[in-house]
Amino acid sequence: MWRFNWLAGALGRATLTFFVMSGCGLSAQAGEKTASLIGSAIQGELARAQFARPNHSATEHLRVNLASAVQALDVYLAGSGASGLAWRQYLLWPDLQRAVEPTAPPDLATLDVLLAQFSSSSAGLELPPFATVKGWLKLYRNQVQAERDPAAEANFQKDIETLRALFANNTDLDRAGRAQLGDVVGRLTAASQAPELVRALRERYSQPNLHFEIASNVVIAGMEREVDDVAPVTDQILGTSIRGTGRTVGRVEARLIPSTEQALICTALRATACSSTVGRNGPAVIYTQGQTEILGEKMLAIDSDGIHGFATQAHCQTTTHITGLGSTKHGLVDRIVRRVASKRVGEQKSASELIAARHAETRVDKRMEAESSVSLAEANAAFAENFNGKFRKPMLLRDQYPRLFRISSTSEAVLLTATQSGDSLLGAPGPPPDDFSGSAAMRLRVHESVLNNLANGLFGGKKMAKPQFDELLTSYLGHVPEELDPEEDTDWSITFAARDPISVQIDDDVAAITVRGAAYTKAGKSFDAMNVTARYKLETTAQGFRAVRQGELSIVPPDFDAASGQKMPTRLIILRSILAKRFNKLFAPEIQAKGLLVQGRWSKVGRLVANRVRARDGWLAVAWEQQPGVVSESMVSYPNGMR
């Protein structure tokens, strides 16, 4: 029987891509060259920006909204039994209730403690009732601080002057300038000042920083297949009971439909069903050869919430050929039955074919809906486990879920676009370079700001010992990589720098990775700040690209200047030796990118090799191409659940 369970694997495990969002248009207001870089929207908003004095009515409005969210959470927890009681204790419920009372003046220290509780990584805080309280609590806390800050207006004017200085030259912002801009945007956001200016700055300087696409032939490879099916035929048409056998031969096909809001895939069964049947109506027996052309289509939509199926649409056209007439009678009665049957068959042939086609459409609809519903349930279960469980949930818990996460499609590829940014952490300064001509099975373009922003959110200022580090890695990767799990090295900790705890800088096919530790401990001993930097040259090989470390690791204190003859204290020399041992395992001399080999329905794709790589202007671009054929286990890795 022809089946549609290709949907499960196809949609549950398919990798999707980010749609490229363009920046805002650029025009004039402080000279043509400057205006062409920062845009008329920014120039105009910068000229109009005025300090909005915080007032109590705005604070009260936020308090009311926070109180409403707390009340909704209260109702939610009331129905959660013992779990609800545990949450109330953890969230310091009496303090939270007092914080939203209209009579008591809000205490900033208490609000900070409450916000820290709601911002922890405890599983469950990503759920809407908790997240809503957290959102209003953050806004309320910032508004209370702004209302009480006597230097608020002076700080605002200082930020505006900083922006004017940044845009005074007719050159675009470098990394340091963008970091400074991010700080200003973060302060303005927290103080709820100049929202239109902030919006314009984000549109220009915080564009999507991750783009990933998969070619249509890869997406649909596991969906398409041949159909050759023999099944019994049973029907009832114009009082005639029909029995027989049918053979359906055709193909299940799929194609991408252009959409900017979601990825659309149209799956279709195109087949011809040939049947040989016997119809009985009273004493009359009708022998028929039939042929039905079948087109059954089901549209599938993929977005960040999962995979959704639209109603099946089936279109069938039936033609029949009467090969003989008979009856269950004998003699004269037999001849009369045959004569009447011949006349009625001729009169009703067109109507019978039309009814048969409609019945076939109903059967196709029901069959596709029944089988696709099971497949979609399996696909969404896999989606929930992999996307929600391993990406969305841990990212929401840590306030790192992308501000933009969009899935879309063209006729040639499924696309995903994301902007990984924060209040003071900006995305890409512009669109990605188009480094690769021609087609590719998959293509990734990621800006250094993705990793840098994530690192700031996950590690900035935090102290992590091995258990916490392993827990974080497991929540994202599902395991601790072997090179980071030596049994003999467990008694250590690192306190990351508050700013840029881990940073990546990409230029001229070189990626420089720096880990900034503000403090370290090892076996009970404390050590001062030290930065560890590895520089990798990206190269292309027949097996895929590789990253080759350039020289030894640089392990020096912040602001250390060896060229000036500065000497490193003995204590830091000891720390450097300890860090070298550990980080040499993490930053191996050479890292070879393995190919991807998908088995099962997608085995026809063959091996996907990342054989084109470019790194420049902050962007890393990688393209995978298909290389059909058998390869050794050591040459490939398998996507989760696909082996």
pLDDT, averaged in runs of 10, over the chain (643 residues):
34 31 33 52 87 88 94 93 93 94 87 92 87 93 91 95 85 88 95 93 94 93 89 93 95 95 94 95 94 95 92 95 92 90 90 94 90 86 86 85 95 96 94 82 95 93 83 69 62 90 95 94 88 94 88 92 82 88 88 80 84 92 79 43 40
Look up the domain containing 169 and give its range: 24-205
185 with 237, same domain: the answer is: no
153 & 68 share domain: yes
Q: Which helix (H) or strand (E) holds 454?
A: helix 448-459
Please give the DSSP secondary-structure letter assigned to residue 430: S
* H/E stretch holding 34: helix 32-48
Same domain, 199 and 228: no
Q: How far apart are CA 462 and CA 456, in angstroms?
A: 10
Residue 413 within any structural domain of the chain? no
pLDDT recorded at residue 139: 93
Distance, in Å, from the CA atom of 518 to the CA atom of 515, rounded to the nearest integer, reads: 10
Q: Are residues 363 and 439 in the same domain?
A: no
Residues in the chain: 643
Residues 320 and 439 in one domain: no
d(CA 193, CA 196): 9
On whether both 457 and 600 belong to a single domain, the answer is yes
The reply to whether 11 and 30 lie within a common domain is no
- Dump pLDDT digits (tens) for 106-128: 899 999 999 999 988 788 888 89
User: Is the separation of the CB atoms in 624 and 593 below 8 Å?
Assistant: no
Residue 118 is inside which H or E element, if any? Answer: helix 108-118
Of 340, 366, 385, which one is at a domain's C-terminal end?
385
User: Would residue 547 count as lying in a domain?
Assistant: yes
- The answer for residues whose C-beta is within 8 angstroms of residue 428's C-beta and 6 or more apart is 206, 207, 208, 209, 419, 447, 449, 618, 619
In the prediction, which pLDDT does 621 show?
94
Same domain, yes or no: 496 and 352: no
Whether 408 is in a domain gets the answer: no
489 contact partners, CB below 8 Å, separation of at least 6: 466, 582
Q: Is residue 414 part of a domain?
A: no
Q: Both 11 and 33 in a single domain?
A: no
Determine, yes or no, domain membership for 403.
Answer: no
Q: Which pLDDT score, from 0 to 100, does residue 478 have?
A: 66
What proportions of the chain, in percent to the nearest 5, are helix, strand and coil? 40, 30, 30
Residue 391 lies in a domain: no
- Number of domains the chain is built from: 3
The answer on 32 and 11 residing in a single domain is no
Q: Could you tell me which residues come within 8 angstroms of residue 132 by beta carbon, excluding any fewer than 6 positions away?
A: 69, 72, 73
Residues 363, 436, single domain; the answer is: no
Q: Is 563 exposed, middle or buried (0-12, 13-18, 19+ CB in 10 A)?
A: exposed
Write down which residue in 385, 408, 430 finishes a domain. Answer: 385
Tokens of 392: 């969305």
Residue 200 and residue 262 in one domain = no
DSSP output for 529-558: -EEEEEEEEEEEETTEEEEEE-SSPEEE-T
Whether residue 519 is contained in a domain is answered as yes
Close Cβ partners of 339 (under 8 Å, ≥ 6 residues apart): none
**Would you say residue 395 lies in a domain?**
no
Domain final residue pick, 178, 205, 232: 205
